[in-house]
A = this chain, B = another copy of it.
Amino acid sequence: METFVIEQTENEKTLLRKDVFRPWPKTRRFVKVCLEGIKRVLFRVGDDWYFLFALGVIMAMISFTMDFTVSRMLNAHRWLQQELKGNMLLRYLSWTVYPIALVAFSTGFAQSITPHSGGSGIPEMKTILTGVILEEYLTIKNFGAKVVGLTCTLAAGSTMFLGKVGPFVHLSSMIAAYLGRMRSSVTGDYENKSKEHEMLVAAAAVGVSTVFGAPISGVLFSVEVMSSHFAIRNYWRGFFSAACGAFMFRVLAVFNSEQETISAVFKTNFKISFPFDLPETFFFMILGAICGVVGCAYLFCQRWLLGYVRINRFTAKLLSSDKPVYSALVALLMASITFPESLGQFLASRLSMKELLTSLFDNRTWWTLSQNASLERPAEVDPNNLWLEWANPQFTIFGTLLFFIIMKFWMFILATTLPMPAGYFMPVFVFGAAIGRLVGETVSYIFPNGINSDGVINPIIPGGYALAGAAAYSGSVTHSLSTALLAFEATGQIAHILPVILAVLVANAITQKFQPSFYDGTIIVKKLPYLPRIRSRQINSYKVNTETFMNTDVKVLSTEASFDDVLMVMTSSEDLEFPVVENTESLILVGKVMRSQLRRFLETHESQQHLQMSDSKITCQGTLKDGCSIEPVTFQLSTWTSLHEAHHLFELLSLQHVFVTKFGKIVGSVTRNELRKAIEGLANPK
Binding site for B on A (CB under 8 A): 41, 44-46, 48, 189, 192, 194-195, 198, 215-216, 220, 223-224, 227-233, 235-236, 239-240, 243, 246-247, 250-251, 254, 260-264, 269, 272-278, 281, 458, 481, 484-485, 488-489, 492-495, 497-499, 501-502, 505, 509, 513, 533, 536-537, 539, 542, 582, 588-590, 632-636, 638-642, 644-645, 648-649, 652-653, 661, 663-665
- From residue A659, how far is it (CB to closest CB) to chain B in Å? 11
A590 to B228, CA, bound (A): 33
Q: How far is the CA of A635 from the CA of B648 in the complex (A)?
A: 12
**A235 adjacent to B224 (CB under 8 Å):** yes
- CA gap between A539 and B192 in the complex, in Å: 10
Pair B582/A663 contact, Cβ less than 8 Å: yes
Tell me the number of copies of this protein: 2
Are the C-beta atoms of B632 and A247 separated by less than 8 Å?
no
Whether B498 lies near A250 (C-beta < 8 A) is yes
Q: Which residues of B contact A232 (CB under 8 A)?
A: 223-224, 227-230
Residues of chain B within 8 A (CB-CB) of A239 are 481, 501, 505
Bound together, the chains give a CA A613 to CA B509 distance in angstroms of 67
**CB-CB < 8 A to A498: which residues of B?**
215, 243, 246-247, 250, 262
Are the CB atoms of A492 and B494 closer together than 8 Å? yes
Q: Is the CB of B247 within 8 A of A263?
A: no
Among A215, A224, A590, the one with the most B-chain Cβ atoms within 10 Å of its Cβ is: A215
Which B residues lie within 8 Å of A48 (CB)? 536
Query: Are A46 and B278 in contact, CB atoms less than 8 angstroms apart?
Result: no
Listed from nearest, the 9 A-B pairs whose CB atoms lie closest are A664-B664, A632-B640, A494-B494, A46-B537, A634-B641, A652-B652, A243-B501, A634-B640, A229-B231
Q: List 29 A-B contacts (CB under 8 A).
A: A46-B536, A195-B536, A215-B501, A229-B229, A229-B230, A233-B533, A233-B536, A239-B501, A243-B498, A246-B498, A254-B278, A260-B274, A261-B274, A261-B276, A261-B278, A272-B272, A272-B492, A272-B493, A485-B485, A489-B497, A589-B664, A633-B640, A634-B641, A635-B641, A636-B638, A649-B653, A663-B664, A664-B664, A664-B665
**Residues in B whose Cβ lies below 8 Å from that of A243:** 498, 501-502, 505
Tell me how far the C-beta of A328 lies from the nearest C-beta in chain B, rounded to whole angstroms: 40
Which of B228, B251, B664 contacts A588, CB < 8 Å?
B664
Q: Which residues of B contact A505 (CB under 8 A)?
A: 239-240, 243
- From A535, which residue of chain B is reached at the shortest CB distance? B46
Chain B contacts of A236 at CB under 8 A? 481
Docked Cα-Cα span, A652 to B230, in Å, equals: 10
Q: Cβ of A502: which chain B residues have Cβ within 8 Å of it?
A: 243, 247
